[in-house]
Amino acid sequence: MSIVVTGATGHLGRHVVEQLLEKVPADRITAVVRDASRAADLAGRGVRLAVADYNSPETFGGVFSAGDKVLLISGTEFDKDRVAQHKVVIDAAKAAGVALLAYTSAPASLTAALADDHRGTEAALLASGVPYTLLRNGWYHENYTENLAPVLEHGAVVQAAGEGRVSSASRADYAAAAVAVLTGEGHENKAYELGGDEAWSFAEYAAELSRQTGREITYNPVSVEAYTGILTGAGLPGPLAAMFAGVDASIEKGELVVSTGDLSRLAGRPTTPLSDAVAAALKG
């Protein structure tokens, strides 16, 4: 029996594999990647590699075996049919008779268009009959802290989220929850609503940036339309800009506040404070 992680060289996937290596022998871990060269370091540590692509169903033949536990990390090709991509993995997992398929979804409260593919994938997974766990991941600290250059350049946090709050956490936190499910028992056919322990507003985020940089950084709330224009002006394709601006509209409505405590319970520790993520990003 293997623990199989798709998208294993992505931002979240690497955290998952690194944390799995602390708990299980490397030869029990299979990293599914599109480019084996990007996972050479993992192979060098004894992790098994499988080269497969969500866009090519035939590449998933033989990737899974009966009894495997699989983590399906949602695809990031927003210009593709992501539900169809995910169904490729679900169908292959069903055919192989895996013991569990965990999927990184989105909070049930999120109504933004970004959530549509997740809802569609959840429906396909439930219809498949494969034992499942829904890891409904909230927002990531890194969605903001990895893009600090324009904020620091202009001295302003610009979002279309009004006074809405976000229960974000670090990628490492969400990875810890996935690892707990993949290595533990009793998670079959359950859904976990995952988010950080402390919700914050963008005014508070700007204040934290000001505190740590010693500079005055303000929060400038704008309309969804204006924010969409800012994102397209920065080079983001129109549909993607609209999708991210739509998430801000959901934040204003409180849809990314997750107060279940599921994430810290699964991780076995408190979630990473936003201030820690800011400090790490500023150190670069």
User: Is residue 218 in some structural domain?
Assistant: no
pLDDT band, residue 104 (cuts 50/70/90): very high
Return the pLDDT at 141.
98
Beta strands at 165-166 and 200-201: parallel, antiparallel or unpaired: antiparallel
User: Is residue 284 in some structural domain?
Assistant: no
Largest Cα–Cα distance in the chain?
57
Is a pLDDT exceeding 90 seen at residue 111?
yes
d(CA 182, CA 117): 23
Q: Which of 283, 112, 267, 133 has the alpha carbon at shortest distance from 196? A: 267
Give the tens place of pLDDT for each residue, 121-163: 999 999 999 999 999 999 999 999 998 999 999 999 999 999 9
Give the tens place of pLDDT for each residue, 51-92: 999 999 999 999 999 999 999 999 988 888 999 999 999 999
Residue pair 277/209 in contact by the 8 Å Cβ criterion: no
d(CA 237, CA 3): 36
Residue-level length of the chain: 284
Is a pLDDT exceeding 90 seen at residue 223?
yes
Q: Which of 197, 230, 207 has the alpha carbon at shortest distance from 278? A: 207
Share of the chain above pLDDT 70, in %: 100
pLDDT band, residue 284 (cuts 50/70/90): confident
Return the pLDDT at 77.
87
Residue pair 190/260 in contact by the 8 Å Cβ criterion: no
d(CA 206, CA 185): 41
User: Is residue 279 in some structural domain?
Assistant: no
Containing structural domain, residue 57: 3-138+170-194+260-267
Return the pLDDT at 76.
86
User: Is residue 39 in some structural domain?
Assistant: yes
User: Is residue 76 in some structural domain?
Assistant: yes
User: Is residue 49 in some structural domain?
Assistant: yes
User: Is residue 190 in some structural domain?
Assistant: yes
User: Is residue 11 in some structural domain?
Assistant: yes
- Read off the CATH number of the domain in which 25 is found: 3.40.50.720
Residue pair 253/246 in contact by the 8 Å Cβ criterion: no
Residue pair 277/145 in contact by the 8 Å Cβ criterion: yes
Q: Which three-class secondary structure state does DSSP give residue 146?
A: coil
What domain count does the chain have? 1
